[in-house]
Chain A
Amino acid sequence: MPKCFKRDRFVCISGFCNCFGFRISDFEFSTAMIFFVILLILTFIAQIVEIFIPPLEWMYNAHIYIVPIIVFYGAMSLPFPLVMILAFFAGFMLDALTAQVIGGRVEISLGWSILLYAVLAAIMHGLRPLFIRGRWEVHCIMSGLCTSAILLSQYLMISFRRGSLVFTREAWWQIGGPGVIAMIMAPLLFWVLHTLSQATRNPYLPDEEAYE
């Protein structure tokens, strides 16, 4: 596809963003957007798939979480505003699917998961210099830690709501287990997403840092 044609298609969106202070060139914006939209779709699919993955009985019923890994990869490979939109999307879906309305109260209000994802994604975005230097292992470990951090935060919130803090061996496994699984899955998922990112010519990749 000719470059000028692509440019025409995205010039309106880019122009809109420029009005609000986004200084992104048209071409860079369009190519970043393609990968961003792919990540949004993958996040949605992963969230639905997660629902059908049964908990691991041998790991004290720990669940498998895929969405955080996708969001954290997005945090390393997208501009900050798009990272926040991705975090919002993932957090909103998590809240909408899991919010418990019991009687007249909500156990964890809508918005908390968005906040959690936004904070953790911002931390991961802050570690981008390491990603640029090719130090992926740090992000794999961080993906596991951040996944566990989401679960720990949720557990602390519901404990606060329910009025007692109980940390059993099962609770620790259900917090730490998904983190360990995320750490193990992260290299493979990062590789797949990185390949996709390169295929879509995402300008925010380490090799093409000149675009930043």
Chain B
Amino acid sequence: MNRSSIIALVILGLILAYFLSFGAEGTRKLQAGFYKVVSPFLSTGSGLKKQITSVSSGLQTLEELERDNTSLKVENRALKATNQALRDVENEVNRLRRALAYRERSVFRLVPAEIITRDSSTWWRTATINRGKTDGIEPDQPVVTDIGLVGKTTTVAENISIVLLISDENCKVACSVEGTREQGIVSGERVTGSVTPMLDLNFLSKQANLGPGPKVYTSGVGGVFPSGLLVGVVQSFRVRELDGQARVTPAVDLSRLEDVFVVTGRK
């Protein structure tokens, strides 16, 4: 090994040692700084992805039109395109109307946010949203939709935040089961092979004997998540050696998240 290689290795080793000495706060600051730098790229990428998706769905409509009668082809294509555009606008209006209504009737102070990326790594279930410090968002704030709980913020940069989804094993939420006195901790799976992940509700009593159907709400214990947020619906129950465990389907479809709200406090 020549001299330059040894020098390169020594410098790399020193930098590595410096980085490995970072604590949680240092890592959070550095990560927030990095996200600040890459946030324009992420926003642009998110916009491009949406455009590509809309173009591909438009092409499918054209394929359908090709099968139609040749004399009506041109007219039909124009009508369908107009109709599709109007439907997109209608969906958008309905979605925003629902979001606005939820924001107004909610007892929480909510900051609306849009999902930029989701599930960008293999082992962590996270999403990034287009709101950050400048919008009053801080780490460990709950993220919800009008349907139920989505997760909580972890690292907050200036204009972008990382949301740890409830489907991640590290996101632990104290919950209670509707119609019972049962309380437990909901967490996600470490590895999931399906688009729709399942949640585990652990530390229930062995006698809970839950059937499919009861809803699971946050209990408010722990301080991060306020009580009464819908987490999911019990699918099955099994008794383990020391406790009972229920499988819970998340209330929110985490694979199709578009708009969320960050709970910044109570009204």
Contact = CB atoms under 8 A, between A and B. Distances in A.
A17 B11 CA distance: 13
Interface in B146-201: 154-155, 164, 169-170, 190-195
B22 A109 contact: yes
Interface string A86-112: 011000110111111111111101111
B123 A154 contact: yes
B264 to A, nearest CB: 20
A84 B12 contact: yes
Contacts of B24: 101, 103-106
Interface string A115-139: 1001000000000000000000000
B12 A154 contact: no
B122 A110 contact: no
Interface in B1-16: 1-5, 7-9, 11-12, 15-16
A166 B191 contact: yes
Report, as a range, how many residues of chain B touch the other chain. Answer: 35 or more
Given A84-B9, A170-B191, A49 B45 contact: yes
A115 B185 CA distance: 35
Interface stretch (A3-11, A68-76, A171-179, A193-201): A171-179
A53 to B, nearest CB: 9
Most chain-A Cβ atoms within 10 A of its Cβ — which of B27, B117, B154? B27
A81 B8 contact: yes
Contact of B5 (A50, A81, A170): A81
A116 to B, nearest CB: 11
A166 B170 CA distance: 15
Report, as a range, how many residues of chain A touch the other chain. Answer: 35 or more
Contact of A80 (B8, B41, B46, B124): B8
Interface of A: 17, 20-24, 48-52, 54-55, 57, 60-63, 79-81, 84-85, 87-88, 92-93, 95-107, 109-112, 114-115, 118, 151, 154-155, 158-159, 162, 166, 168-171, 173-174, 178
28 contacts: A21-B4, A23-B2, A48-B41, A51-B42, A52-B120, A57-B195, A61-B193, A61-B194, A61-B195, A84-B12, A96-B30, A98-B120, A99-B31, A100-B124, A100-B126, A101-B155, A102-B164, A102-B170, A109-B19, A111-B16, A111-B19, A114-B16, A154-B122, A162-B170, A162-B190, A170-B191, A174-B122, A174-B191
List 4 tightest A-B contacts by C-beta distance, closest first. A111-B19, A170-B193, A81-B8, A60-B193
